[in-house]
Amino acid sequence: MTALLMLNHIRNLSDESVVEQWAKNAYYQYFSGGQVFKAKAPCEASELVHFRKRIGVEGVKLNYSKASVSMEKEAKKLRPDIVKLPEERSY
């Protein structure tokens, strides 16, 4: 659910659209932690609304902040030179 909220926010999609695209996009599924492609929607779009209400505004903000920190750490592992400022890079 949190990955769907992230994709919803990053791609600026509606709940219906993110659920529909998740079922068609292997990259979205991998981003969500999936190991095998599934051509089936992970949930109903209305479940995202209920989940968002359960975790509240602070929960949504926390989800985005923790995800951005973990994405930054992963980026540093893959390409440490990319996440540095231009003046910090060594060529």
pLDDT in tens, 32-60: 888 999 999 999 999 999 998 998 888 88
Determine contact, residues 7/19, Cβ cutoff 8 Å.
no
d(CA 32, CA 34): 6
On average, the pLDDT of the chain sits at 81
Task: Give the dihedral of Cα atoms 27, 37, 51, 63; nearest 10 deg.
Answer: -40
- pTM for the predicted model, two decimal places: 0.66
